[in-house]
C-alpha cells in the first residue's frame, strides 16, 4: 500500500480554509474519508451543493503559471461530482490568495508527466493536469491562517 503524506497540520489547514469558505457561502462543510477523491462535501440547508478538493501551496499565486493535479485524482473527483449531480471545486490556498476553480471538464486541460522527486517515491511521478492559474477566481476575502 502506498504511504500517505498528508500530515495532521495539512488537515488542520484544509479545515480552516473550508470553515472560511463555508462562512462565505453560508454552508456547512463535512470532511470526507480518504476513500473519497475529494476532501470535503459542502451542504446548504441539508442538501449537498458541491464537492471540494483543497490544495495548500506555500508559493505566491502567480509564482507558477499553472497548478498541477493528478489526472487520476481529478478524474475520479469529477466523476463523483457528475454522478452526485453537483459541481466540483478545486480550492487552492496560496501564500497570498485563496482561489477556486469550478471544474467543468478536466479533460480540456493539458496533460504532462511529472511530480515530486524529493521523497524518493517513484509513484509520485504520474500524469498531471496542467491547470492555468488564470482559470482560478478569488474568494471575496482572503483565508486566515
Per-residue model confidence as pLDDT tens for the chain (145 residues): 555 656 788 789 899 999 999 998 999 999 999 899 999 999 999 999 999 999 999 999 999 999 999 999 999 999 999 999 999 999 999 999 999 999 999 889 999 998 777 777 677 788 999 999 999 999 876 444 4
How much is the pLDDT for 8? 81
Four-way CATH pick for 8-138: 3.90.1150.10, 3.40.1350.10, 2.60.40.10, 3.20.20.70: 3.40.1350.10
User: Which grid coordinates belong to 6?
Assistant: 498528508
DSSP element (H, E) containing 102? strand 98-103
Q: What is the model's pLDDT at position 143? A: 44
Asked whether the beta carbons of 133 and 59 are under 8 A apart, the reply is: no
H or E element, residue 98: strand 98-103
Among 64, 58, 73, CA closest to 13 = 58
pLDDT, position 119? 72
pLDDT for 145: 44
pLDDT at 15: 93
- Pair 135, 101: CB distance under 8 Å: yes
Cβ count within 10 A of residue 53: 23
Contact between residue 91 and residue 41 where contact means Cβ atoms under 8 Å apart: no
d(CA 31, CA 92) in angstroms, rounded, equals 16
Amino acid at each position: 500500500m502506498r504511504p500517505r503524506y498528508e500530515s495532521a497540520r495539512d488537515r488542520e489547514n484544509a479545515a480552516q480554509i473550508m470553515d472560511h469558505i463555508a462562512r462565505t457561502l453560508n454552508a456547512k462543510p463535512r470532511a470526507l474519508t480518504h476513500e473519497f477523491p475529494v476532501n470535503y462535501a459542502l451542504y446548504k440547508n441539508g442538501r449537498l451543493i458541491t464537492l471540494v478538493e483543497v490544495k495548500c501551496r506555500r508559493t505566491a499565486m502567480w509564482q507558477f503559471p499553472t497548478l498541477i493535479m493528478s489526472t487520476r485524482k481529478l478524474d475520479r473527483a469529477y466523476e463523483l461530482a457528475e454522478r452526485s449531480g453537483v459541481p466540483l471545486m478545486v480550492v487552492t490556498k496560496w501564500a497570498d490568495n485563496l482561489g477556486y476553480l469550478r471544474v467543468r471538464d478536466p479533460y480540456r486541460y493539458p496533460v504532462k508527466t511529472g511530480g515530486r522527486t524529493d521523497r524518493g517515491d517513484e509513484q509520485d511521478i504520474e500524469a498531471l493536469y496542467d491547470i492555468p492559474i488564470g482559470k482560478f477566481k478569488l474568494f471575496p476575502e482572503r483565508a486566515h491562517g
